[in-house]
């Protein structure tokens, strides 16, 4: 059931909404599209669904070119951010609606609707109307409708964004399980890296209409191929600093450096070092830790963890650490950073590797 995009792009009045890309989506798993708002996620989904005509490129589904096929003939289901349900129909009718178009017996319809309602825990609500339900329940109805359709391509456009924090957690846990059984290709867009990680599967990072990387989520997280992909996939934001590499090692502007023979296969010169907030530690744990100092701007505490925002050599960094630390403003603190936890990017923003 492979869905493949060949050189697909969307351009309007000289503005590129989606830069040309070629992608083969992995069936039967969650494909997460991660990117900030206005990066083109909704446009991308609409292109995939066939709601928008691409400026160039083709969409192939199971070896068939479906680019010119209108939406109604494609087997697609879509769930939106804004709990979209038919307001005048009951929950039962809402869920049954995709089945009504196909010629199925009433008995079959009933059994399928009940089965899906059971899965989404909305069986007691079948007789109600959408406006009588809470946000979370309405979204469950929308999801049930998408599930009932048994579409081969399921598109979820930030479906949990308008829900409460805890509700989001609940539904997020259930989603992969729900769609795994149908074997459909699922595309899920989100702005939060932690959601992508929790959903697993494959992820694509989207930045200003450009897909910067598509890999298994864990690999993308641990091994970004570019500065842009790394930044998109970091929450708290990625810490960066300009460094210079020479034969001795890797040097920061103030002279602090790692004496290392790593990255020797790459030319000497200027690079950008990127590292995640939780790798900047308050205690030394590794042999190749470099000691750095910084001035605290503000500390945020969230029950069991602390986010320390500080300034170090003109860079604004965040330390994300376990435990509660009540540093005062302008306090000088020491941090430790191991080179093995860092990513090195060249001046173009591409990742360089240590062979």
Partner 1 sequence: MAEVRLQQIRHSYNVDAGEETEYALEKIDQVWEDGGAYALLGPSGCGKSTLLNIVSGLLQPTEGKVLFNNNDVTSTTPDQRNIAQIFQFPVVYDTMTVHDNLAFPLRNRKMGNAEIKERVKTVAEMLDLTASLNQRASGLTADGKQKISLGRGLVRSDVNIMMFDEPLTVIDPHLKWQLRTKLKQLHRQVGFTMVYVTHDQTEALTFADKVAVMFEGEVVQFGTPEELFLSPNHTFVGHFIGSPGMNFLPCELDEGFLVFSGNRIKKSAPITQPETTKKIELGVRPEFIKIDSNGFPVNIIRIDDIGRYRIVKVEHSGYFFNVYVPEEFEVPTENLRVSFDPQNTHIYCDGWLYDKKEPS
Partner 2 sequence: MITRVPNQKAWFMVLPVILLVAFNAVIPLMTVVNYSVQETFGNNVFFWEGFRWYEEVLRSERFHASMTRQIVFTSIVLLIEIPLGIAIALTMPRKGLGATLCLVLMSLPLLIPWNVVGAMWNIFALPEIGFLGHVVNSMGIDYNFTQQPISAWVTVIAMDVWHWTSLVVLLSYAGLTAIPEAFYHAAQIDTATKWQIFRYIQLPKIKHVLTIAILLRFMDSFMIYTEPFVLTGGGPGNSTTFLSTDLVKIALGQFDLGPAAAMSLIYFLIVLLLCWVFYTLMMRNEDQ
Q: Which residues contact 158 (CB under 8 A, 6 or more apart)?
A: 41, 81, 189, 190, 191
Pairing of strands 202-207, 153-157: unpaired
Tell me how far, at minimum, the Cβ of 55 lies from partner 2, in Å. 18
- Residues numbered 243-282 forming contacts with partner 1, rule: CB under 8 A: 276, 278
Contact region for partner 2 (CB under 8 A) — 61-69, 222-230, 233-241, 343-351? 61-69
Contact region for partner 1 (CB under 8 A) — 54-62, 205-213, 262-270, 296-304? 296-304
- Which two three-digit tokens encode residue 188? 């899920």
Q: Which does 65 bind (CB under 5 to 8 A by kind): partner 1, partner 2, none?
A: partner 2
Q: Does residue 287 belong to the site contacting partner 1 (CB under 8 A)?
A: no
In DSSP terms, 251 is beta-bridged to: 244, 257
- Which two three-digit tokens encode residue 122? 């909305």
Round to whole Å and give the CA distance between 212 and 225.
Answer: 8
Q: Does residue 309 belong to the site contacting partner 1 (CB under 8 A)?
A: yes
Contact region for partner 2 (CB under 8 A) — 8-16, 26-34, 66-74, 182-190? 66-74
- The correct pick among 134, 264, 332, 350 for binding partner 1 (CB under 8 A) is 134
Question: Would you say 35 and 190 are in contact if contact means Cβ atoms under 8 Å apart?
Answer: no
For Cα atoms 48, 207, 155, give the angle at the middle one, nearest 5 degrees: 25
Q: Does residue 283 belong to the site contacting partner 1 (CB under 8 A)?
A: no
- The correct pick among 13, 14, 15, 68 for binding partner 2 (CB under 8 A) is 68
Contact characters 110-149, partner 2, x per CB under 8 A: ----------------------------------------
Side-chain half-sphere CA neighbours of 161 within 13 A: 15
Tell me how far, at minimum, the Cβ of 74 lies from partner 2, in Å. 11
Q: Does residue 101 belong to the site contacting partner 2 (CB under 8 A)?
A: no
- The correct pick among 295, 298, 331, 347 for binding partner 1 (CB under 8 A) is 298
- The correct pick among 191, 260, 266, 340 for binding partner 1 (CB under 8 A) is 191
Round to whole Å and give the CA distance between 274 and 280.
Answer: 11
Tell me how far, at minimum, the Cβ of 64 lies from partner 2, in Å. 6
Measured over the CA atoms of residue 228, residue 229, residue 230 and residue 234, the dihedral's sign is positive
Tell me how far, at minimum, the Cβ of 146 lies from partner 2, in Å. 24
For Cα atoms 271, 275, 281, give the angle at the middle one, nearest 5 degrees: 130
Task: Find tokens 């998408």 and name the residue.
Answer: 146
Tell me how far, at minimum, the Cβ of 58 lies from partner 2, in Å. 11
Between the alpha carbon of residue 7 and those of residues 84, 210, 347, the distances in Å are 31, 12, 27
Nearer CB in complex with partner 1: 88/134: 134
Q: In what order do the strands lie in the sheet with 249-252?
A: 257-259, 249-252, 239-245, 269-275, 343-345, 351-352
Contact region for partner 2 (CB under 8 A) — 69-77, 216-224, 267-275, 282-290? 69-77
Nearer CB in complex with partner 1: 76/133: 133
Q: Which does 165 bind (CB under 5 to 8 A by kind): partner 1, partner 2, none?
A: partner 1
Question: Would you say 203 and 195 are in contact if contact means Cβ atoms under 8 Å apart?
Answer: no
Collapsing DSSP to helix, strand or coil, 221 comes out as helix
- Which two three-digit tokens encode residue 354? 């240590």
Task: Find tokens 């042999």 and name the residue.
Answer: 287
Q: Which does 98 bind (CB under 5 to 8 A by kind): partner 2, partner 1, none?
A: none
Phi, then psi, of 121 in degrees rounded to 5 = 60, 35
Q: Does residue 128 belong to the site contacting partner 1 (CB under 8 A)?
A: no
Count interface residues toward partner 1 (CB under 8 A): 37
Round to whole Å and give the CA distance between 336 and 61.
Answer: 50
Binding site for partner 1 (CB under 8 A): 36-37, 134-135, 164-167, 169, 191-192, 194, 197-198, 200, 218, 221-222, 235-237, 276, 278, 297-298, 300-304, 307, 309, 318, 320, 322, 324, 329
Binding site for partner 2 (CB under 8 A): 64-65, 67-70, 73
């Amino acid at each position: 059931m492979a869905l493949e995009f060949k050189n697909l792009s969307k351009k309007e009045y000289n503005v590129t909404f989606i830069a040309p890309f070629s992608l083969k989506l992995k069936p039967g798993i969650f494909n997460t599209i991660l990117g900030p708002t206005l990066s083109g996620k909704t446009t991308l989904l609409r292109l995939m669904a066939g709601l928008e005509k691409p400026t160039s490129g083709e969409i192939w589904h199971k070896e068939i070119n479906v680019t010119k096929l209108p939406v109604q003939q494609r087997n697609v289901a879509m769930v939106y951010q804004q709990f979209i349900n038919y307001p005048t129909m009951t929950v039962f009718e809402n869920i049954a609606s995709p089945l009504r178009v196909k010629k199925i017996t009433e008995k079959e319809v009933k059994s399928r609707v009940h089965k899906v309602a059971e899965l989404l825990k909305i069986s007691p609500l079948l007789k109600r109307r959408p406006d009588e339900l809470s946000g979370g329940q309405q979204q469950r109805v929308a999801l049930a409708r998408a599930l009932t359709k048994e579409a081969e391509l399921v598109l979820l456009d930030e479906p949990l964004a308008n829900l409460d924090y805890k509700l989001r957690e609940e539904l997020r846990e259930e989603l992969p399980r729900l769609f795994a059984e149908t074997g459909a290709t699922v595309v899920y867009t989100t702005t939060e890296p932690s959601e992508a990680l929790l959903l697993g599967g494959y992820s694509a990072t989207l930045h200003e209409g450009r897909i910067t990387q598509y890999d298994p989520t864990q690999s993308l997280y641990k091994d970004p191929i570019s500065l842009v992909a790394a930044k998109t996939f970091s929450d708290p934001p990625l810490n960066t600093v300009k460094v210079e590499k020479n034969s001795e090692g890797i040097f920061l502007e103030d002279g602090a450096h790692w004496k290392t023979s790593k990255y020797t296969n790459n030319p000497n010169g200027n690079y950008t070092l990127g590292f995640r907030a939780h790798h900047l530690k308050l205690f030394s744990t590794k042999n190749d830790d470099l000691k750095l100092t910084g001035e605290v701007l503000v500390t945020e505490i969230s029950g069991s963890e602390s986010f320390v925002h500080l300034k170090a050599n003109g860079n604004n960094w965040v330390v994300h650490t376990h435990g509660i630390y009540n540093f005062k403003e302008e306090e000088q603190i020491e941090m430790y950073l191991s080179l093995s936890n860092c990513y090195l990017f060249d001046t173009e923003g591409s990742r360089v590797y240590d062979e």
